[in-house]
Amino acid sequence: MNTTLLIAVIAYELVLIGGIAWWLTSRARRAAAQDGAFELASRTLPVAVVTPTMALTILGTAHILGIFELAWLMGGTALWFGLANAVAIAVVCLSTGRWMRRLRLTTVPELLEMMHGRNLRIIVSCVMAGTIFGILTLETQGIGIILASMTGWSIRNGAIVGGLLGVAYVIFAGMKEVGWINLVNAILMYVSLILATIYIAIGLPDGFGTVSEYYQTTDQAHMLTIFGPTELLLTFALGLFVAVNFSVPVSQFFVQVALSARSERVISRALWIAVPLNGLFGVFTVVLGMTAKALPEFNALGPKIAAPAMLVQLLPEWLASLLLASFLAAVISTFAMTCLGPATIFSMDLYKRLYNRDATERDTARVTRYAIVGLAVAAMAVATFLPPILASIGWLLSWMIPVMWLVFSGLFWRRSNTAAGLVVGVAWIVNMAWTFTPLPQALGAAQLPNAYVVLAVTIIVGTVANIAFRSAPPGYFRSPEYSARIAGS
């Protein structure tokens, strides 16, 4: 166990989380209570906080350890996952995030109720919360892996310690706490990541030429380009691109960042920094993942541990501490948001909407905190019984693809409650059937990602149903209700 490294990383996290939590809670005690103070930071976050929070919210386990694993297996093709997330940020900044902030909503299911009624809101709330919880368990696994690489602990013990840090990241001041901690962590992460990549390149006999030579001499030259084998591009790269960009822009854990912004303009401005910050991160993680595989002493460790172990052993202690602290912070940031997102759904879409319509800000904040703790404990309990990270992400994100259709169709085309129910019902049944039955093998399409199938079914069923129920009200943005809501805001 590298005790000094462990102490340095944990101390950094505790000091940063504790200091910012104390600062924010002190300010909150002196300020008047505001609606959405815990869940949405009272909709006051400036661009300097929204930008790194958008970048870090989807820079979690999948983006760091997931790409480390995939770079080991498929090389540069793994970069497509990073590019997909960068595009998803742009979609939120240009469309869903801005629209929902304009309507002053708290959750994505709340938007669905405005267009399709209470029943759909409740159904989607339950499914979306479960889907985000699935992502939360992967983030918990990632925290465990990072701490295991530093300590020699089991992934389970690392997940427990990291999970406790993740709860502390959000429990004191909610969205505002996550945002301001991310501002500090983003600066540290990019500086340390660039320095680490340079340091490792200098330490190799022929720089990254050593890495290139390894892949060429082992008949793996296709891994040196992002345009790998056609089969990988069509199944993995494009499949994850579809899964991410037709789900993340309507997933509560990410849209909640935009809903906390001071204005629509803040969201638009965040686009120009958050997208390149997020996209470039994938380049560095792919390079480091491929380097770990090319070095014999780390190749023997396997894809989950090799890259973190390489960073611990090859970097000077101060730089390894900074880099692993920032990696841990990035994963904990996503852990915090994937706790806060479903917890907000629970408090606003279920508790307040169904059981206590008169709940105050204090009431909903208390329920949200209880839900955060419950979700975190459950995630820590199951984190070590998980499949490969990115394989799981593709399946989980496919559940939200029909919700993307409902949002765009309901805003711009037609608001048929029956059509909406058909879309989500059929799409979700197909997603389950494609995963847990022999249907793909029977059709000779076992390599076809869930995202392709669910997207195709969603578009076909949604289009036919909207045409069939043409007497339904027009899209919300073309309705008198929208005009009245904007006029009264």
Q: Calculate the average pLDDT of the chain.
A: 88
User: Within this chain, do residues 358 and 424 fall inside the same structural domain, yes or no?
Assistant: no
User: Within this chain, do residues 415 and 312 fall inside the same structural domain, yes or no?
Assistant: no
The whole-number average pLDDT for the span 297-310 is 85
End-of-domain residue from the set 356, 388, 420: 388
> Which residues, including other chains, have CB under 8 Å from residue 468's CB and lie 6 or more apart?
419
Is 390 a residue whose pLDDT tops 60?
no
Query: For residue 393, is it within any domain?
Result: no
Domain at 230, CATH number? 1.20.1730.10
User: Within this chain, do residues 121 and 260 fall inside the same structural domain, yes or no?
Assistant: yes
The whole-number average pLDDT for the span 274-279 is 88
**What does the pLDDT read at residue 386?**
58
Task: For residues 345 and 229, give the distance between their C-alpha atoms in angstroms, rounded to a whole number.
Answer: 41
**What does the pLDDT read at residue 236?**
78
Is 314 a residue whose pLDDT tops 80?
yes
Percent of the chain with pLDDT over 70: 96
Structure tokens at 273: 């920094």
Nearest to 337 by CA among 145, 463, 169: 169
**What does the pLDDT read at residue 473?**
94
Q: How many domains does the chain contain in total?
A: 2
Task: For residues 125 and 110, give the distance between their C-alpha atoms in angstroms, rounded to a whole number.
Answer: 9
**What does the pLDDT read at residue 461?**
98
User: Within this chain, do residues 165 and 44 fall inside the same structural domain, yes or no?
Assistant: yes
Q: Which of 32-36, 139-143, 422-426, 431-435 has the highest mean pLDDT?
A: 422-426
User: Within this chain, do residues 304 and 428 fall inside the same structural domain, yes or no?
Assistant: no
Is 86 a residue whose pLDDT tops 80?
yes
User: Within this chain, do residues 446 and 308 fall inside the same structural domain, yes or no?
Assistant: no
Q: What is the pTM of this model?
A: 0.90
User: Within this chain, do residues 317 and 406 fall inside the same structural domain, yes or no?
Assistant: no
The half-sphere exposure of 444 on its side-chain side, counting CA atoms within 13 A, is 0
Q: Are 446 and 234 in contact (CB under 8 A)?
A: no
Query: For residue 394, is it within any domain?
Result: no
Query: For residue 395, is it within any domain?
Result: no
End-of-domain residue from the set 364, 388, 412: 388
User: Within this chain, do residues 330 and 472 fall inside the same structural domain, yes or no?
Assistant: no
Q: What is the pLDDT of residues 62-84, one digit of tens each?
A: 777 778 888 888 888 888 888 89
Nearest to 291 by CA among 231, 206, 229: 206
End-of-domain residue from the set 341, 368, 388: 388
User: Within this chain, do residues 84 and 170 fall inside the same structural domain, yes or no?
Assistant: yes
User: Within this chain, do residues 77 and 187 fall inside the same structural domain, yes or no?
Assistant: yes
CA 237 to the chain's CA centroid: 17
Using 50, 70 and 90 to split pLDDT, how confident is the model at 34?
low
**What does the pLDDT read at residue 31?**
63
Can you give the residue range of the structural domain that contains 322?
3-388
Q: What is the pLDDT of residues 348-372, one digit of tens each?
A: 999 999 999 899 888 999 999 999 9
Is 239 a residue whose pLDDT tops 70?
yes
User: Within this chain, do residues 413 and 377 fall inside the same structural domain, yes or no?
Assistant: no
User: Within this chain, do residues 325 and 411 fall inside the same structural domain, yes or no?
Assistant: no
